Amino acid sequence: MVPVFSIDEKVTAYIRKSGMDFRLSTSPNGSVLLPLGEISPKPSDMKILVGSNILYVSKLQAKYIKKIDWPMVERYLSSSGESKT
């Protein structure tokens, strides 16, 4: 079975604007979208093309999410001190 989830348009716009690849990861506060460099993808991750960038999602985590949404980006931004663009 292939996991099915959606990606919020604000998240796809953020990924495209950043020009970076990201990985959906877990944290004590919930799922978080981290740029590669902060975390590395695993060979078993699903690869989702977002513009010219790649979003890596753990196959295990993909079973449990319904949507990749903006709060997943905000968790990273608030922990890194970056502005919320």
Q: How far apart are CA 15 and CA 64, in angstroms?
A: 22
Q: What is the DSSP letter of 39?
A: B
Query: Is the Cβ–Cβ distance between 75 and 30 less than 8 Å?
Result: yes
Q: Between vectors from CA 28 to CA 25 and to CA 33, what angle results, nearest 5°?
A: 25
Q: Taking the model in full, what pTM does it have?
A: 0.85
Structural domain boundaries of the chain? 6-80
Q: What is the pLDDT of residues 25-83, one digit of tens each?
A: 888 888 899 999 989 999 999 999 999 999 999 888 888 889 999 999 999 998 776 65
